[in-house]
Structure 1
């Protein structure tokens, strides 16, 4: 990749990655603010703000936003995460200025019309209901809440019906002013882009972002614990987790390799033992999520109630054995999966733009893919084993 970075006087960063074989581009603006930036009384506010950004600005109605981007064949999207929020567009190369203008408009001058706000809060309440009706999503919200109790990192991104209904225009404006600041933002464009042209457009369009940087969230506190609920379902959904590694930890890549060899595919130890050998679960996989100062390593399984007594002992045995006996072939296979997944995803401009935004907000610079691949390749068998032992040494979390 050939990412270029310019930091404007306001502190706003602009990154481009030219893909000369393309005639389209993915552009976006991302902020180092998400659900973790909320106070307790603001639960769900970051996500509500993301929704309301599309519901009208000082210059455009909600319908005009949709019509203008679709008039040129483009589309808009957005996503709220735990620590970051991003707004993006995909357009033909000649429509990059329009895309940047719309993106700047919705984050710099959102209108927060009272009627639109009332409707959108109801939409989000329905979205929350959808998660409540989807146990294989809900179990991860419970897992996060149990692992990181009584803190923003443990609260769901969507909020609760009560918390969302209690939010108002003042809260939205306060959060935007506090968290959507130039120094905490990055404008990214990948595909058929020219760096200098994108920088000039970004400097003009986003000049209304407040200068400086926002508040940093309180340090994470992993606790662990147990949360269970009985529901009238065909399957049992189980998530078991341990304290993971922050994304800047020295052994974060070793932790990712261990997670992959333990449960990253059909050849992984968990899949082979739990599904293929014992038939205990239809779905079983391992994951490792990294945050600025914390992480979560775990295993998810969907199974029948008759096998509930066996799933946890077998899972723990498999993980413990992997941490002691993982071999070179398994480690190399896990690393190959990680490298292939990364490189395949970056063939798409939207994925490149997201990749650069996430890494710049996390590390202060775009990471070249060769650097990431080199760090994956450098993980040794003993490092993967040691990472596994460290991951399994914390208090467990069960949901």
Structure 2
């Protein structure tokens, strides 16, 4: 395995994977703090801080940051998730030191200019509005909040308009000080890179990043389930039906991933074939399984016309229930192949590979080899996969729907249908 890991004296971990046949490099900084690490009064700060990192430092204005990276032909971006915040760059091989310098600058020397802050808060308010206007995005926020009611893990990553409007520079600084620490950070690099050079640059540029005084553990997640319906005058009903899934650290995680792929992960899946191809009840339908550090969510999404909701829902639920009893070897084989192609694709491109190895070190404190992951997938037999699906379907259902939702079944009806199948 070509990946290498070095833990610097500060506790900051550097993981790289050299891909000698490439001429570009992807580098990123992954912070072990996302929306589920926020207190109620901090809701939305992780995402706001991500935005503000690009708005000026002691050495560079917001415009200078953009111009300097683009003058080298590179690009710079960031993303906030439930459990992590990431900042990353893609550059030519010779500009890897520049990428490290800019990433360190925005993460350790940002000034959080008051005018920039007010401007960016306005941008985020527009982003929140855009989600509210996009039902196929909003329904997943509602689903997550209903699955984990009253918990940080269930809150929307973007925050709320009132909360965002209330944040000042002091709140951002306090959150940065308590969560952005060397021992909660992984720096990844993949492509045309040299491990020792990256480590030297990181140790020099990130010297201001100190270890945490105390670990900021996120509250444990407690899946509950329930329902939420948002009636809107839309052409389609957007529906998510879900259940408790598995943590990515669970021994059965890959089994449920295979089950989700087999049931609704491609054009040959049961949901796609039965709901769309055979009956024409939906244009869009797919299953999913998201793993977090201590829990997960499994389910399916469908978008359909009001007149087809009543027929679609029992058909889709029967597909799930029957798969837990009768998923075939051929279906499992196809789903496994899809997963392996996805894994191997990430090994062939520097940006996905950089993200992959950084997330693995964040989660497991090591890089999982290709052989280890493929072996775990290949060792699954059909009984393992069916059992993982059956276990998920026994949990309390979560129902989220937007649009013409009167015929969407309540959670107790979902559970009854699954038991009767």
Residue 394 of structure 2 aligns to a residue in which SS? coil
- Contact 2:346/2:356, CA 8 A, preserved across alignment: no
- Contact 1:32/1:84, CA 8 A, preserved across alignment: yes
Q: Structure 1, unaligned stretches of length 5 or more?
A: none
Looking at structure 2, the residues matched to 26 and 297 of structure 1 have their Cα atoms a distance apart, in angstroms, of 31
Residue 180 of structure 2: aligned partner = 180
Residue 304 of structure 2: aligned partner = 303
The alpha-carbon deviation at position 214 of structure 1 amounts to 3.5
Residue 82 of structure 1: aligned partner = 82
The alpha-carbon deviation at position 69 of structure 1 amounts to 0.6
Residue 229 of structure 1 aligns to a residue in which SS? strand
Looking at structure 2, the residues matched to 149 and 102 of structure 1 have their Cα atoms a distance apart, in angstroms, of 39
Looking at structure 1, the residues matched to 374 and 100 of structure 2 have their Cα atoms a distance apart, in angstroms, of 31
Looking at structure 2, the residues matched to 315 and 162 of structure 1 have their Cα atoms a distance apart, in angstroms, of 38
The alpha-carbon deviation at position 311 of structure 1 amounts to 2.2
The alpha-carbon deviation at position 123 of structure 1 amounts to 0.1
Looking at structure 1, the residues matched to 230 and 197 of structure 2 have their Cα atoms a distance apart, in angstroms, of 55
Q: Deviations over 1:120-175 (max 9, x none)?
A: 00000000111011000000000000000101100000011111111111111111
The alpha-carbon deviation at position 279 of structure 1 amounts to 1.1
Residue 361 of structure 2: aligned partner = 360
The alpha-carbon deviation at position 72 of structure 1 amounts to 0.8
Residue 335 of structure 1: aligned partner = 336
Looking at structure 1, the residues matched to 215 and 80 of structure 2 have their Cα atoms a distance apart, in angstroms, of 17
The alpha-carbon deviation at position 312 of structure 1 amounts to 2.0
Residue 344 of structure 1: aligned partner = 345
Residue 259 of structure 2: aligned partner = 258
The alpha-carbon deviation at position 327 of structure 1 amounts to 1.1
Q: Structure 2, unaligned stretches of length 5 or more?
A: 401-421
- Contact 1:235/1:304, CA 8 A, preserved across alignment: yes
Looking at structure 2, the residues matched to 55 and 366 of structure 1 have their Cα atoms a distance apart, in angstroms, of 33
Looking at structure 2, the residues matched to 369 and 82 of structure 1 have their Cα atoms a distance apart, in angstroms, of 26
Residue 319 of structure 2 aligns to a residue in which SS? helix
Q: Aligned pairs, how many?
A: 399
Q: Deviations over 1:269-313 (max 9, x none)?
A: 111111111111111100000001010001000111101112221
Looking at structure 1, the residues matched to 346 and 278 of structure 2 have their Cα atoms a distance apart, in angstroms, of 32
Q: Deviations over 1:315-357 (max 9, x none)?
A: 1111000000011111111000000111123211000000011
* Mean CA deviation greater in 364-373 or 163-172: 364-373
Residue 244 of structure 2: aligned partner = 243
Residue 398 of structure 1 aligns to a residue in which SS? strand
Q: Deviations over 1:188-218 (max 9, x none)?
A: 1100101111110000011111213640101
Alignment of 1:54-203 (within 5 A): 54-203=54-203
Looking at structure 2, the residues matched to 184 and 42 of structure 1 have their Cα atoms a distance apart, in angstroms, of 19
The alpha-carbon deviation at position 359 of structure 1 amounts to 1.0
Residue 5 of structure 1 aligns to a residue in which SS? strand
The alpha-carbon deviation at position 21 of structure 1 amounts to 0.5
With normalisation by structure 2, the TM-score equals 0.94
Residue 291 of structure 1: aligned partner = 292
With normalisation by structure 1, the TM-score equals 0.99
- Contact 1:289/1:297, CA 8 A, preserved across alignment: yes
Residue 372 of structure 1: aligned partner = 373
Residue 21 of structure 1: aligned partner = 21
Q: Deviations over 1:251-270 (max 9, x none)?
A: 00000000000000010011
Residue 268 of structure 1: aligned partner = 269
Runs of 4+ in structure 1 over 2 Å off = none
Q: Deviations over 1:221-243 (max 9, x none)?
A: 10100000111111110000000
Residue 280 of structure 1: aligned partner = 281
Looking at structure 1, the residues matched to 385 and 135 of structure 2 have their Cα atoms a distance apart, in angstroms, of 32
